[in-house]
Amino acid sequence: MLVTGASGALGKAVAERFAAAGDTVVGTARSWERRKPPSGTVPLEADLTGPGAADSLVREVTRRYERIGVLAHLVGGFAGGAPVGATEEGVWGRMMELNFGAARRMIQAAAQAMERAGGGRIIAVGSRAGEQPAPRMAAYACAKAALHMLVRCTAEELRDAGITVNAVLPSIMDTAANRAAMPQADFSRWVKPEAVAEVIFWLASPAAAEVSGALVPVYGRA
């Protein structure tokens, strides 16, 4: 399987969950130079915000392992804090690229490879913010909403190709970065990365063979 964004807290949890089940796991990051790859993961470097990078990555993985059975696309980013009228143009563009553009190219490339191989599973990470409006995060929320619709449309197109396409929608995840950004929050109400990883693992399992086009909320108690 292929995990993009494997250097983050969720990426580590997902990669290690699949590796523990005996799967061959390829994990990507922009750079592994100062990061330790998740246990059991084959590390590759890829900046998926650039044109052509997704196609190159899929070609490399299929060259090594013949096929990609599962894609877990975890690349994304957050920016917020300003109302719509004060959100700078660059923030809109950056949020769309990180949360939608990279996903679109990765899903396109993986879907083509999976069609040639006769099937597969595509799982993206959306966000609660893409479904439930909140102030001062419109650029991020709009980008995630676009990703959600991409998942649903792609699922419809690939329904007869043996490929399922779904997304998990976490609320705030309990990561070191989020704790540092919101030190006064009640961390116990946040969803653990390992819990999100379990849902992704289930969506890739035989038990979820008939599930496609789903946006699965994983909100914890937040």
Provide the pLDDT confidence category of residue 176 given band limits of 50, 70 and 90: very high
Distances (CA, A) of 86 to 135, 140, 142, 197: 12, 14, 15, 35
Q: What is the pLDDT of residues 200-219, one digit of tens each?
A: 999 999 999 999 999 999 99
Residue where the block lists tokens 């597969």: 120
| CB within 8 Å of 126: residues ≥ 6 apart | 144, 147, 148, 151, 167, 168, 169, 215
Please check the confidence at residue 121 and state whether its pLDDT lies above 90: yes
Provide the pLDDT confidence category of residue 143 given band limits of 50, 70 and 90: very high
- pLDDT for 222 equals 73
- pLDDT for 38 equals 95
- pLDDT for 189 equals 94
Provide the pLDDT confidence category of residue 125 given band limits of 50, 70 and 90: very high
Are the CB atoms for 163 and 122 separated by under 8 Å? yes
Q: For 83-101, what is the mean pLDDT?
A: 96
- pLDDT for 87 equals 96
- pLDDT for 50 equals 82
Query: Mean pLDDT score of the chain, rounded to an integer?
Result: 96
| CB within 8 Å of 27: residues ≥ 6 apart | 2, 3, 6, 7, 11, 15, 37, 38, 41, 42, 43, 44
- pLDDT for 93 equals 97
- pLDDT for 216 equals 98
Are the CB atoms for 25 and 65 separated by under 8 Å? no
- pLDDT for 161 equals 97
Domain total of the chain:
1
Please check the confidence at residue 37 and state whether its pLDDT lies above 90: yes
Helices (H), 21-137: 53-65, 89-96, 102-117
Crossing angle of helices 138-157/89-96, nearest 10°?
30
The CA-CA-CA angle for residues 66, 97, 158, to 5°, reads 45
- pLDDT for 221 equals 83
Please check the confidence at residue 169 and state whether its pLDDT lies above 80: yes
Print the domain residue range for 164: 2-218
Q: For the domain that residue 157 is a member of, what is the CATH number?
A: 3.40.50.720
Provide the pLDDT confidence category of residue 220 given band limits of 50, 70 and 90: confident
